Structure 1
């Protein structure tokens, strides 16, 4: 019968003449295997089960290979990709290493460890605070952010009754310690000695610990953290919560954590004895930060026991040292490289002088938003004769005269940064100071928002001798 379109329409179609798959490239390997089997004399008939084609191409990939692929996705896509299927959710959980827990039940039920088995960084602070989640009052602090009700107690917005019971927190820490043996960083609030001991025993790789609202005796629990290198103790936070860490706690800390490299004390009490114990026991300590400290007078002289200290930071300190004592008993830190002061009161000339004497070997000074720093007080900094870098920001009382008298005493000065010091004027810059600018390797000169280097300064050739490291704003 002659072939025609009408005849074709009447014929029974035994095999569809449509393209099942628009893109046949992924199936070329499957088709090739089927052809080999049909040509083999041993397999004249191909079993049905060998022709099974899966609808999920990712099922052909091993977990390790798919995990490697998912790890290459941007972090913002992890949440959506975890919803594809149970397998992807499980693999996504293995990629997560850092969490901030909000619901304590998620930890107690064991779901946290099952969902994220490879955690190395856990923050439990928000989950330990029992405050209303539906409140319209939200308090954000540099240490934590929580929702509050309208009440205010004498000790602050958060009291001991607002935290989970100590035994509940201890049980949660036990679950974390047993489920996350590779934990490296932990943030806690209201932890007791028992809970911290379980972490110290099980998490041998713990390197960084941040403790809020803790007491002296609770610090005995971290004595077993043999590899702890970074510790942040937050005792009292103004208008938020109040707890006491004194010389007793600092001594316990010093004797138990001898491998500390960085230590930050926020709102902690103490004195000469506590800082001395830290300096004598923690001989690897390189960075010490004191924020809003409540130290007794004379603590500055204990810094001389920190034989390997390289960086000293003071933040939000109302007074540096109420009674530093005589210059003969202050001592010094010969290894100190950086002195960083931020939002500190520097009106007391005696304590400022004591600080610069202890830090006379420093190579870099950073003064950021320090109140009361006038020309006479700043002139004390000439004690630091080996200074190479100076950064001033937000020092509104300082003038060009005060700056000029100090920077010329630093023969090794290479870098100068002056930002938002509104009392320093371009028109008052002396020729001698302009000449000094021209030999600096790095200069950032913006004492106020309107300040631009005048033409008289540009004619001195500023920046030409500094080479490629010179920066001019």
Structure 2
């Protein structure tokens, strides 16, 4: 491919003032198909190095130049989501993308017609469905690949990608995961959908596994059971876990306790739509290095937390995040706050039932530096003030979309607190005028100097 660019030359220098260029004097770019391909003189290594310097947004268009560039493009791809299972079983994925380190097979393990115009979407995934889809139940068994088929694909993947670092799959069993454990020693992150307790025995041999995400019960998609048995197997086999997310998983105090005792490096725990038995909160006190606790879309915190003196406390916990959770039960919220009494950052987003009397339980915290409230429409300025004025170390406050909090109700004491904060984001509703009124007053910026020497 060769580009030709012609421009007329003049042998005399013009003394007239510069004028607009005569576009008609230029000849347009032309393509000469018979011109030699000078890129063929470059080695694969050199051309690959050149292509790798280009923006990622250009990789796909570059791969269409010729077969050689297509092959080299495949060597630059390290992360892939597979939508068609035959792409794996035919071996085309290994030829096309030989250097993958991040492989997502979740969508390809669900065999639904892609030509359907109906899509069912969950927080974690989307699938095409047809008239055989059961809206009141789960995906039909024929919609999910059999475990032996998934295991066969995992064996092929284990043999071709020994440097795999992340894997996501649906319906895998112990046999397939054992092969991954044997052939992929560098695997660090694993996401499993619709797997039972016994399947978790297969990941015990993955010595460097640090991040695990387990998806059990998910709406109308599928219903698999991960209970204390699976959590215990996971804890005993994956002692280097740093992050763990449990979505739709069952379990109780025993399972959480096992994770805390065995996974002493665990720093982040996330529970989404959990189905834990009453009393599970007390197991968190065994997580001796836990720094972040997240609860998402949970219909209840703990149905029966037990006596306060038996709950214990997570001494190292720094962040508590609640998003889309039901917090109407004061007993369970109190138990959660007792376990997390040492937190520094509290994030409450779209929590149902967060009234003043429920939020008042947060007065138990004494080391809070950041409070973020969003979508908590039942909370009033009175309930907010009662708590935040009791926190002597508060540095950052964010209040957004809390329609029951009014600018006109801000008291002098609360305004004084605002003036020394290191960060203040105050947009409780669309009519809030406080933010614009703060302009030029220095309120919300004085804390920059006040906390200048703080290392936190």
Q: Structure 2 length normalisation: TM-score?
A: 0.89
The CA deviation string for residues 213-236 of structure 1, in whole angstroms up to 9 with x for no partner, is 000001111111100100000000
Partner of 1:441: 422
**Cα distance change of structure 1 residues 21 and 276 upon mapping to structure 2, 3 Å threshold:** closer
The residue that corresponds to 2:65 in the other structure is: 84
Shift of 1:72: 1.9
Listed as ranges, the matches of 1:311-350 within 5 Å are 311-350=292-331
Aligned length: 423
Instruction: Determine if contact 1:148/1:157 at 8 Å carries over to the other structure.
Output: no
1:111 counterpart residue number? 92
Q: 1:142 aligns with which of 116, 119, 123?
A: 123
Cα gap change, 1:455/1:23 in structure 2, threshold over 3 Å: closer, same or farther? closer
Q: Which runs of 5+ in 1 are unaligned?
A: 1-19, 25-52
1:417 pairs, out of 398, 403, 406, with 398
Residue segments in structure 2 that go unaligned for 5+ positions in a row: 7-33, 452-456
Cα RMSD of the aligned pairs, angstroms, is 2.1
- Answer whether contact 1:155 1:242 (CA < 8 A) is retained: no
Moved more, 83-92 or 288-297: 83-92
| Contact 2:422-2:445 at 8 Å conserved across structures | no
| Structure 1 residue 255: Cα displacement | 0.3
SS at match of 2:190: strand
CA shift digits 1:276-326 (9 cap, x unpaired): 000000000000000000000000010000000000000000000000001
CA positional deviation for 1:57: 1.0
1:261 to 235, 239, 242: 242
TM-score (structure 1 length as normaliser) = 0.86
1:307 aligns with 2:264: no
Cα gap change, 1:382 to 1:265, in 2 (>3 Å) = same
Matched position secondary structure for 1:161: helix
Does 2:178 match 1:215? Answer: no
Equivalence for 1:285: 266
Q: Give the distance between the partners of 1:272 and 1:149, measured in 2 at CA.
A: 41
Counterpart position of 1:240: 221
Would you say the 8 A contact 1:122–1:185 is kept in 2? Answer: yes
1:158 aligned residue: 139
Which residue of 149, 152, 164 corresponds with 1:168? 149
Contact kept? 1:93, 1:117, Cα under 8 Å: yes
**After superposition, where does 1:95-106 map in structure 2 within 5 Å?**
95-106=76-87
How far off its partner does 1:382 sit?
0.7
Deviation at 1:78, TM superposition (A): 1.5
Contact 1:177 1:203 (8 Å CA) reproduced: yes
The counterpart of 2:353, out of the listed 372, 375, 392, is 372
Instruction: Work out which of the residue numbers 346, 360, 367 in structure 2 matches 1:386.
Output: 367
CA apart distance, 1:152? 4.2
Q: Which range is displaced more, 297-306 or 73-82? A: 73-82
